[in-house]
Structure 1
């Protein structure tokens, strides 16, 4: 079915209907051959980022950690130091097979190559389950300026539900990637917990740390005026950890220690790890979730695939007793995780403000 929208586009409701209701997404807008960015996507000046295209200028970046010998104490120290000082790091030789990473990237492109009517089956109000959701931007109802991104979010409940409800074109590859990452996730959490004086992750703590998993397939189509908008605005994740697979295009920026924006260069076969708000809260601020954002691209379509490892919705999150064993006072109160997440999603991206919801 051909897109039902006329050029030039001036009507806000027409754009919303085309992008959200018809399931075309911003990918559909991009493919219309727009010469200029629709007004709804133009971000305020303070939310834009100027990308330095001069690759000859050396730039500080997040740590890169080789996990080929993950039992090495130096590897453990590097992981914990990165989580404390940066909140972000890249891992190589992490144990997730390269073909699994390539397969899930190819499957992501296949999903976004589906006709709009097929993708629309998973959009809000139409999807057969809240566990599967296709959409655009972050929170279109709350945002004053929309983000130039489409996404497909799948919450893992069971293999049976995934086979029944997840998009068949990418289901197997997404499941394989998620399952192949479990050993890495457990290793990272074991290392991070030891520095918090948690020497053994029992069943209760494991459910608290990684009892719920969501995986997104993100698509950032070519943008006519990338300098005027964002792929994703400033935010920190609400997860325990996020495991991100980037393609080779790049566009992820992290808030550096000097308050500057630092590009995370793609490394073939690597995964980007970042601390989420939940782990910041459970570590009483020792591990830091950090603002990050994604720029729009004017020449290439970009994808990214984050796995969000979370507490369960019914969990009460607060600093672990072990993190307070040396007499530290708790910075955060007890918060029902589902309420924390609801607070995050009811507003536009706003940097690190969500974590204030949990402060004492």
Structure 2
């Protein structure tokens, strides 16, 4: 069993991404706009320097502190927040297939939809409801970032290709969507028998705003080709294009395959991350990687169903990696 979780780290390098500055990007800086388009077309991933937003950096730390306390509660108490949902509540480890064949994932999560947070829904997990003003401010700030990026993509695509996409119009708070704030913990482990990491996939939505200060995230890079670690940078978010944005942009923007895997075979310390998943209005339709016309909600539901399938079944259909993978395999001994 142990051999399934080992791999040759010498074959795994560090990804090289563009770094954009949030303060300049929101001022519609032309140089930042050009770098944004290049990043979206190249790897589909980039760093965003958030150092200028002191309030957000403080809130990030506060949310992490709350997460640490919450995820160390007894499993029985956390399971009271389970709603058997992909966008709401608690989910335990080993729910989906993991990063290594024949083993499940090894992370737990707590999620709250944007709709729930905005409405201060009674269905929110108690820990989020008790700290609602923090989570509302934090998620609103993340939402402002991704919507600003989306508008900048609109301008860049128009200038470069003459496209009139109006991507922002597909994301409106007065229409139902599956936009979600998610908090993850990859617990410290002594054996791989329970599970390993987070399996390879592309994100199903529009943009992902990821905050993590620990190693483990990898992207299936184009140049150099193969799995590359994404280095954590202080006060930086990692932003990546999702399937929906790839399809709505006429595939001019790339939704990259990525995964989470321990750097030394096992998770030697608790790893925490926070993701804000921007997703289009449920009724928005696009052509997927197989040529089907599907709605944003249908793509979401189908993809999460495949997440929970065995690896063999996942390999038979292109949805998990958004049709972006072309026969690459995990670098696993």
Same fold, judged at TM 0.5 (above): yes
Q: CA RMSD in A?
A: 3.5
Q: Unaligned 5+ residue runs, structure 1?
A: 1-38, 320-329
**Deviation of the 1:285 alpha carbon:** 0.9
Q: Does 1:146 align with 2:111?
A: no
1:237 and 1:43 mapped to 2: Cα distance? 28
1:159 and 1:67 mapped to 2: Cα distance? 24
Determine which of 32, 50, 67 is the counterpart of 1:108.
67
1:210 and 1:271 mapped to 2: Cα distance? 26
Determine which of 179, 194, 208 is the counterpart of 1:213.
179
**Deviation of the 1:105 alpha carbon:** 1.1
On the 8 A contact 2:40/2:253 being kept in 1, the answer is: yes
Q: TM-score, normalised by structure 2?
A: 0.77
1:223 and 1:53 mapped to 2: Cα distance? 24
What's the counterpart of residue 288 of structure 1?
A: 254
**Deviation of the 1:210 alpha carbon:** 9.8
2:210 and 2:188 mapped to 1: Cα distance? 21
1:248-259 equivalences in 2 (<5 Å): 249-257=214-222, 258-259=224-225
2:41 and 2:167 mapped to 1: Cα distance? 23
On the 8 A contact 1:124/1:135 being kept in 2, the answer is: no
**Deviation of the 1:158 alpha carbon:** 3.8
- What SS is found at the alignment partner of 1:284? coil
**Residues 300-349 of structure 1, C-alpha deviation per residue, up to 9 Å, x if partnerless?**
11111111100122322249xxxxxxxxxx98442122221222112237
What's the counterpart of residue 22 of structure 1?
A: none
On the 8 A contact 2:43/2:221 being kept in 1, the answer is: yes
Q: How many residues align?
A: 298
**Bigger-Rg structure (1/2):** 1
1:237 and 1:200 mapped to 2: Cα distance? 20
Worse-matched range after superposition: 253-262 or 220-229 = 220-229
What's the counterpart of residue 331 of structure 2?
A: none
**Deviation of the 1:187 alpha carbon:** 1.3
2:166 and 2:3 mapped to 1: Cα distance? 43
What's the counterpart of residue 237 of structure 1?
A: 203
- What SS is found at the alignment partner of 1:157? helix
**Residues 69-111 of structure 1, C-alpha deviation per residue, up to 9 Å, x if partnerless?**
1221110111110011011011003646210111111111121
Q: Does 1:183 align with 2:144?
A: yes
Determine which of 267, 280, 289 is the counterpart of 1:311.
280
